[in-house]
Structure 1
């Protein structure tokens, strides 16, 4: 999908079907996809006054991106990606914390987790 999108310099929404299931995919700075569903359940509402607005709306729908006021699409995608990385790192540190036996190291892990959670709150 990514290679195809880079080779053909057009805005495309692809409908992928396999084994009675379907999903939509677009490429905009990264690959965005819907989950696999019954093809009858996949819908896209086309709205916007310009073609750029229609394209951005398609990306938002396929990527299920919750847009915040004041953010551009690229900023929102970057924020969501950063938030996901922070959540993954917090989960990894929590897992290490539960397995750690030394109190000092456990305390350090908790401090790192608190710092990451504060950064995550600032992103929101």
Structure 2
């Protein structure tokens, strides 16, 4: 068994696609119209194009919004992405205008930082020393 797909609820799929591809560096894998205004829209890591897909799912369901908004209010990231060097990613993304709610912090063997994805979610970046 392996994880094939996971999702983040987003306010605007087009805006999310721009952020996740142009800013974070993911690549679009699937973009299939579903209904009149939604899409089955997934991105993957360019390092693992056959790896786990991230679905940029519309946050239309009231429970999704309540859950997501409660996490943001409490400062809890919805997802975590692995990077080679959190400090370097923090510098790169900050230069692109990304807002961080947590600067890089060493937590034992892991360094983490938390960013606002501009689509309603907090995302944690994490790296471990090699």
TM over 0.5: no
Answer 1 or 2: which has greater helix percent: 1
Which structure has the higher relative contact order (CA within 8 Å, separation 6+)? 2
Give the TM-score normalised by the residue count of structure 2: 0.25
Give the TM-score normalised by the residue count of structure 1: 0.25
